[in-house]
Amino acid sequence: MSENPNPIPPTPGDTLIFENDRVRVWTMTLPPGGMFDFHQHHHDHVVIWPEAGQVQGQELGDEEWGIVQNADPGFVLYKTVGTAKPLNPHRIRNLRDETVTHYVIELLEPSPSAEELPWTFNDHGEFVFPGRTEH
């Protein structure tokens, strides 16, 4: 079997702003209409939106951009990726007319769960997978 010539990068942001042996903190800044291409999460992580934003995501292999995040200031999401496998590769695009930035905090210690668990988040926004319930 040949190796994939274009492997999916495990970098969930455009700029690494902090790293130690327990966490990595990334920013993801998207200009109006901008996109962050396919990437993959290998660690449980927290996503923080300090300002409002609206983005849409697409999982690799899906025809539609079905995933939607509508963030008010202070929107926080948490994802248990688990130890069995990384999340499905996905990409994200900005639906706003202004630049948006959010932070991704990767927890580098092994996940307490073997399997992926649903997203959890606070009441400062919504995270929608059409056709699925993710709360």
pLDDT for position 7: 79
| Mean of pLDDT values over 112-130 | 93
pTM: 0.89
Q: What is the DSSP string of the chain?
A: -PPPSSPPP---SSEEEEE-SSEEEEEEEE-TT-EEEEE---S-EEEEESS-EEEEEEETT-SS--EEEEE-TTEEEEE---SS-PPPPEEEEE-SSS-EEEEEEEE-SPPS-SS----EE-SSEEEEBTTB---
Question: pLDDT tens digit string along 37-66?
Answer: 999 999 999 999 999 999 999 999 999 998
Question: What percent of the chain is modeled with pLDDT above 70?
Answer: 91
